[in-house]
Amino acid sequence: MHRPRTRAALTSGLLAATVVASALTAAPAQAASGSPAASGSYAFTARLAIGSGDRVCSGTLVDPQWVISAGSCFVDNPAAGTTPPAGPPTKPVTVTVGRGDLASTGGHITTVTELVPAPGRDLVMARLAAPAQGITPVTLATTPPATGDTVRAAGFGRTATEWSPMKLHTGSFTVDGVDTNQLAITGQSGNALCAGDTGGPLLREKDGKTELIGVNSKSWQGGCWGTDTSEVRKGAISTRTDDLNAWLQQVRALPQQAQVVDGDFDGDGKSDVAALYDYGKDAQGRAQSSLWVFKSDGTTFRAPRVAWDSGATSWTWALSKVTSGDYNGDGKTDIAVLYDYDQTADGKNHSRLWWAFTSTGTTFNAPTVAWDSGTMSWNWDSSKVTSGDYNGDGKTDIGVLYNNGLIDGKNRTRLWAFTSTGTALQAPKIIWDSDPTSWSWDASQPLSGDITGDGKTDMAIFYDYGTTTDGRTRQALWNLTSTGDTMTAPRRDWDSTIQ
């Protein structure tokens, strides 16, 4: 007995609703496409182009940052297994969503950065490099269909007459059976799933609502372009999704990236670790971030806990530069964030320094603004943030190495200090200026520490000189010593070319 073919296509195509004509003449049976999706409908359906023309599959937007599809789309030989390795895809993947007509210019185009396969099913969640804003994700069903129900499939596979059509197609199917992981379906009126439809949505449409009940996996492909004309079966297999809501929510909640700082956040004399995590955007389009803390017990780190979450407030991780220090001098490390607010209406760069998370010893207080650039133009992109007690008063200050660009043919860099009073930060002042020396901000990596041991924090800068004429990579370590009010001229303490 033949098995249904996997539909992970090696070429592009669209979902076919195909009809085998039963002619009474001697002419061969013909196949005809079903109806293309109406403009704007099923906009959550995605087209996945995998590799360099290797394969096209379909998928469904379930979150602005995530598309669900079939795991078999991301393996070289689906017959040998349908579970791809977790992590970045082995081949580049381009996702087009919200564009039912590929010849149009609407929708969203991005790439896939991470795959999270579902255990034991032909199913994978694909994280998008850029969230699909303005496109409503599909609603997830919480109950399975019943045998005999009519359901609808959508996708970007072949049709009966076209290898690579330009429009999203849909077709109606009957549910033949429901088991633990899968749904058996058969096309109505000759509808069939074709190559390129793998990973596309299987939908329940009832009472004006559309819900995702499955992800298409395998099909006989009867009547599809390129299928032997003797194959007329329209049966297919879809992977159930209605019972995976808890897993889907866990995947959607996975952090994307983190900025990590350390400090004694509970004041017990042992350094802990904190991470500001990026959670992308929620269904309302709000940027989501959370602060996790790993506390040290002296021998290991305890399980992380959430100390703060942006919740209903939009907080964009990518606009945050994180640093840590005991800014109020109470013996517990706090966290500060330099945040980018883009440009004001009059064209000035706008930044804020949030004395964002003052430690209580057990958690962090809600963020408050410690400084706002206001009428002063401050370029966040030109700022490298660090912290230290530069004046030795027992309270941590904030230092920003700032790029002033090219002035009179020289790279100009300045070090600004925001001095803590214990309850606020004073307006920034310049404590070092590279002029008249040319100093490249791009080549500088600043780090604060009491290098001289006099109770005042100094500044070390690891400097990249690039490649020398004889092909060697050159770096140097420079030391700016604090006087309490300013910094001394930088002294080169180490050079990789000097042995």
Average pLDDT over residues 197-220: 93
pLDDT tops 70 at residue 23: no
Average pLDDT over residues 99-123: 90
Summarised one tens digit per residue, pLDDT across range 405-430 is 999 999 999 999 999 999 889 999 99
Would you state the pLDDT for residue 417?
Answer: 97
Q: How distant is the alpha carbon of residue 238 from its chain centre?
A: 27
pLDDT tops 70 at residue 35: no
Residue 34, Cβ neighbours under 10 Å: how many? Answer: 22
Q: Are 401 and 413 in contact (CB under 8 A)?
A: yes
Would you state the pLDDT for residue 165?
Answer: 73
Q: Whole-number mean pLDDT of the chain?
A: 86
Which phi and psi (to 5°) does residue 61 adopt? -75, 115
Average pLDDT over residues 106-121: 92
Would you state the pLDDT for residue 283?
Answer: 62
Which phi and psi (to 5°) does residue 317 adopt? -60, -40
Residue 345, Cβ neighbours under 10 Å: how many? Answer: 6
Q: How distant is the alpha carbon of residue 82 from its chain centre?
A: 24
Nearest residue to 158 via CA among 24, 55, 231: 55
pLDDT tops 70 at residue 25: no
> Residue 86 and residue 121: Cα distance in Å, rounded?
14
| Residue bearing the bigger pLDDT, 192 or 402 | 402
> Residue 414 and residue 404: Cα distance in Å, rounded?
7
Summarised one tens digit per residue, pLDDT across range 152-176 is 999 888 777 776 777 898 999 999 9
Would you state the pLDDT for residue 9?
Answer: 33
Average pLDDT over residues 362-386: 91
Q: Please give the radius of gyration of the chain, using alpha carbons only, rounded to the nearest integer.
A: 29
Average pLDDT over residues 80-90: 88
pLDDT tops 80 at residue 38: no
Would you state the pLDDT for residue 220?
Answer: 85
Would you state the pLDDT for residue 499?
Answer: 65
Strand partners, 108: 97
DSSP 40: T
Summarised one tens digit per residue, pLDDT across range 301-355 is 998 888 888 888 899 998 999 999 999 999 999 999 999 998 888 888 899 887 6
Q: Of the spans 22-36, 224-238, 371-385, which averages the highest pLDDT?
A: 371-385
For 62, 162, 171, 196, 235, the CA distances from 19, given in Å and listed in that order, are 31, 14, 11, 18, 13
Would you state the pLDDT for residue 356?
Answer: 64
Q: Are 56 and 50 in contact (CB under 8 A)?
A: yes
Q: What is the pTM of this model?
A: 0.58
Would you state the pLDDT for residue 5?
Answer: 43
Would you state the pLDDT for residue 24?
Answer: 21
> Residue 91 and residue 416: Cα distance in Å, rounded?
45
pLDDT tops 60 at residue 193: yes
Q: Percentage of the chain surpassing pLDDT 70? A: 91
Q: Are 158 and 13 in contact (CB under 8 A)?
A: yes
Long-range Cβ contacts of 304-307 (<8 Å, 24+ apart)? 304/275, 307/274, 307/357, 307/363, 307/364
pLDDT tops 50 at residue 212: yes
Would you state the pLDDT for residue 47?
Answer: 94
Summarised one tens digit per residue, pLDDT across range 419-470 is 999 988 999 999 999 999 999 999 999 999 999 999 999 999 999 999 999 9
